[in-house]
């Protein structure tokens, strides 16, 4: 992990990799993130940058790798998946978050975009399935409840490297 992290730094900074921050643009070159539709959210969620530039320290990088590893528990994976899908960082998945989530999964192209009626029906179905307290949003425990009924989540449908 240290070798991979230091290789993202310019040569002159590699000997101080422990104290360096890798810019988001470099993190996004990782093969595991290059094609991930949530690459920007992943950087945002794992970055501890105080300037908000989504750069990563070595510890941030290790946190990200550990969550994506096969040995991470379903609870840990679902916790981070929830944070990644919570686009406005307000602690719930509301209609706007769900719409952005669907758009990320279906691609931004015109030919793959859902019509507003299809989007509305899909969001309605997601909320009917997941919104246990019927408040119009999905909180972390509701999300984890749905995930716990999906054995494939931790293995292939969730976060993996």
How far is the C-alpha of 95 from the C-alpha of 97, rounded, in Å?
6
Interval 13-66: pLDDT, tens: 999 999 999 999 999 999 989 989 999 999 999 999 999 999 999 999 999 999
Q: What is the pLDDT of residues 100-111, one digit of tens each?
A: 999 998 876 777
Q: Is 160 exposed, middle or buried (0-12, 13-18, 19+ CB in 10 A)?
A: middle
Structural domains in the chain, sorted by start: 1-68 (1.10.238.10), 74-157 (1.10.238.10)
Helices (H) and strands (E) in the chain, counts: 10, 0
Are 78 and 144 a contacting pair, CB within 8 Å?
A: yes
Whether 161 shows a pLDDT value over 70: the answer reads no
Q: Is the dihedral of CA 44, 46, 52, 58 positive or negative?
A: negative
- List helix spans (H) across 14-139: 24-27, 31-34, 39-46, 58-68, 74-85, 95-106, 116-130
Contacts (Cβ under 8 Å, ≥6 apart) of 102 = 114, 119, 122, 123
């Amino acid at each position: 992990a240290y070798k991979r992290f230091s290789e993202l730094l310019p040569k002159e900074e590699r000997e101080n990799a422990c104290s360096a921050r890798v810019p988001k643009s470099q993190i996004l070159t990782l093969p595991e993130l290059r094609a991930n539709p949530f690459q920007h959210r992943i950087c945002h969620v794992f970055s501890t940058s105080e300037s908000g530039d989504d750069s990563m320290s070595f510890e941030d990088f290790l946190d990200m790798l550990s969550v994506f590893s096969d040995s991470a528990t379903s609870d840990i994976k679902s916790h981070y998946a929830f944070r990644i899908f919570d686009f406005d960082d307000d602690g719930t998945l509301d209609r706007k978050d769900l719409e952005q989530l669907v758009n990320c999964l279906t691609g931004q192209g015109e030919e793959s975009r859902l019509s507003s009626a299809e989007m509305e029906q899909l969001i309605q179905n997601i909320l009917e399935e997941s919104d246990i307290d019927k408040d119009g949003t999905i909180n972390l425990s509701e999300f984890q409840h749905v995930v716990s009924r999906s054995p494939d989540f931790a293995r292939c449908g969730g976060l993996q490297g």
